Amino acid sequence: YKPLVAVVGRPNVGKSTLFNAIVKKRIAIVEDIPGVTRDRIYFDAEWLGREFTMIDTGGIEFVDAADRIFTDMRYQAELAIREADVILFVVDGKTGMQPQDEEVANILRTCGKPVLLVVNKIDSVEQEMNMYEFYALGMGDPIGVSAVNLMNLGDLLDSVLQHI
């Protein structure tokens, strides 16, 4: 059994970029064949010799009767609550807080699992102040990272290890 670390958040905050940065592999995120792509979004990772499995819940897709592909943030968050040992709740430091972030926070807040609030797109020291508005989500101290620049991922993973 490896602990499961789930990445949760609204679209475009950088969940997949963060997931790829942590698992250190580029994997196919876009599925050619429409359908639930859940099996493609699990990947094993390791930090300081500790192994865990990551899941990018944003990659869980559904197809409706008209062949439209959609995702459901609420379902993704609930799956993470059910299955994960640690939840990485990702928000976007460039766009700032959005109503959908509050929706996700409302689902996660009372889940009883450890939730780490990750403010992504903190690409430089000057942008660190963008983290602070997210205290208002009531999810504890935000951890600022840049998935693209690989900044502060070590601190984030240290925090993950404290919970697994």
Beta-bridge partners for 56:
7
Residue 10 assigned as binding residue: yes
Kindly tell me which of 10 and 15 has the beta carbon lying closer to Mg ion.
15
Which tokens belong to 101? 């972030």
Kindly tell me which of 76 and 130 has the beta carbon lying closer to Mg ion.
76
Residue 154 assigned as binding residue: no
Q: Which does 123 bind (CB under 5 to 8 A by kind): ligand GDP, Mg ion, none?
A: ligand GDP
Q: Which residue is nearest to Mg ion (CB)?
A: 16
Kindly tell me which of 63 and 148 has the beta carbon lying closer to ligand GDP.
148
Which tokens belong to 74? 């609420």
Give me the residue label for tokens 């403010």.
119
List residues binding ligand GDP (CB under 6 A). 9, 11-17, 58, 120-121, 123, 146-148
Query: Does the protein bind Mg ion through residue 58 (CB under 5 A)?
Result: yes
Query: Is the dihedral angle over the CA atoms 41, 56, 128, 126 positive or is it negative?
Result: positive
Residue 121 assigned as binding residue: yes
Q: Which residue is nearest to ligand GDP (CB)?
A: 14
Apex 83 CA angle, 101 and 30, nearest 5: 65
Residue 123 assigned as binding residue: yes
Helix pair angle (99-108, 73-83), 10° resolution: 30
- Residues 141 and 152 sit within 8 Å (Cβ to Cβ): no
Q: Pick one of 9, 13, 14, 16: the residue that binds Mg ion (CB under 5 A).
A: 16
Per residue in 142-151, is it b (16+ CB within 10 Å) or e — as a string?
bbbbbbeeeb
Q: Which does 146 bind (CB under 5 to 8 A by kind): ligand GDP, Mg ion, none?
A: ligand GDP
Q: Which residues make up each annotated binding site?
A: 9-16, 56-60, 120-123
Q: Which residues make up each annotated binding site for GTP?
A: 9-16, 56-60, 120-123
